[in-house]
Structure 1
């Protein structure tokens, strides 16, 4: 099984591409315009959310400790009107500069079952920005897919960070193995669901004679797979066989 192992330069490169694309999209519509992929959110809500995430990460990642930071408040005290985009740009630029220069080995809290180091955050912020860039583009009816290698790594992030951290959207128990195949990234994932738990299987270490008990197979582009896991698109955009209800147990957010 081939699985992308990203680097800080890879994730920062993606961030530097998706950040300006996000800004370009939100600048094309009124800030009170709805965001179709985020029910009950307007464009300014999306700007406030992403800018607040940047500010929160920038404040806590430099502390050099692994204890949780103060819970952030996303939607209050944020500028409106044209100032909202100026504020967002300032937060984006400041975070990119910080992540570019930070020591990846610096102790830093994160919520996932990953090493508590600053190296966690360039990846997380790259994916946060990519998905919300897509959200912003739904407001202008001009969405572009998440770049294939980044999307493949985003699928891995869902499976190695979000689901093990208990951030599954559905709490209904599910049992079986889901097999995901990203055709444009030449990557695949096996996920064994065990009630409310899960295990990401490394098929390179499983003998060919082993029975994987695959109950569903979902094939498509890496972007569609990622957006499906994040609930942005329906799984019917994929080629699905077997028990499709297992895919619902993989959704996060």
Structure 2
């Protein structure tokens, strides 16, 4: 699938950081547990996300050709209040966007997914932010929205990641998805003309996926953002905006095992 332009990813990273900062400065309780990441408080979620951004910024800025230890990146100091965290996150976003823009999409940088470029990291951090901002808004009880092109690209990237894991990590849970004669269809009901549909076929070796409308063993239907969030396990399948048609157990099986960590 055609990805978004590098500058679009950079713009979106800056935009998503701004929206995540809005959650921080809205008066949300930073100690509240994040429902979709129950091992974290809202503050821990933000620090995890910012730490990931800083780790990538260091790799891109230094053109790292091998994985850098995560402890090379300071996670910020100072009072653990919303104002201090907001300032740290703002600086983090500015640093990463500047490094990505300076590098350009084709600069060689280590990655774990067989695409050793700065462009890989621009896309990966766009969706790291897109999904973790959803976690933050759920924790804070706030509404969530995302641009359609970003949501659709997030689904594409997730499928590409799962496909990569199935090919390269033979002992990962994702390999349990292998098997013939099963398929999943994702159908965004608010944008068929834009191609917001996916067909995922499970085979003996890998998954095969493409954009398009086809009959499948099970279908997940709903607005694009809801479909994306459900596919990333951020929204329950029984949410009122979603509809599951066919063998629900297969979709649940996928959601339990489609992972890269």
Shorter-chain TM range is: 0.7 to 0.9
The equivalent residue for 1:107 is 108
| Structure 2 alignment gaps of length 5 or more | none
Q: C-alpha separation between the residues in 1 aligned to 2:64 and 2:53?
A: 18
Q: 2:187 aligns with which of 164, 169, 181?
A: 181
The equivalent residue for 1:219 is 221
Deviations 1:124-144 (A, max 9, x none): 111111111111111221121
| Structure 1 alignment gaps of length 5 or more | 205-211
Distance 1:202 1:130, change over 3 A: closer
Deviations 1:22-60 (A, max 9, x none): 111122223212222221311110111011001100111
Task: Provide the TM-score with structure 2 as the length reference.
Answer: 0.81
| Paired residue secondary structure (2:159) | helix
Counterpart contact for 1:31–1:81, Cα < 8 Å: no
The equivalent residue for 1:252 is 259
Greater mean deviation of Cα atoms: 116-125 or 160-169: 160-169
Q: C-alpha separation between the residues in 2 aligned to 1:56 and 1:65?
A: 11
Task: Provide the TM-score with structure 1 as the length reference.
Answer: 0.83
The equivalent residue for 2:99 is 98
Distance 1:195 1:41, change over 3 A: farther
**1:72 Cα deviation after fit:** 4.6
The equivalent residue for 1:51 is 50
The equivalent residue for 2:38 is 39
Q: Given the alignment of the two structures, is residue 62 of structure 1 paired with residue 92 of structure 2, yes or no?
A: no
Q: Given the alignment of the two structures, is residue 153 of structure 1 paired with residue 157 of structure 2, yes or no?
A: no
**1:7 Cα deviation after fit:** 0.8
**RMSD between superposed Cα atoms in Å:** 2.8
Counterpart contact for 2:185–2:215, Cα < 8 Å: no
**1:158 Cα deviation after fit:** 0.4
Structure with the higher helix share, 1 or 2:
2
Counterpart contact for 1:159–1:200, Cα < 8 Å: yes
Q: C-alpha separation between the residues in 2 aligned to 1:149 and 1:132?
A: 18
Structure of greater relative contact order (alpha carbons < 8 Å, 6+ residues apart) = 1
Q: C-alpha separation between the residues in 1 aligned to 2:77 and 2:178?
A: 40
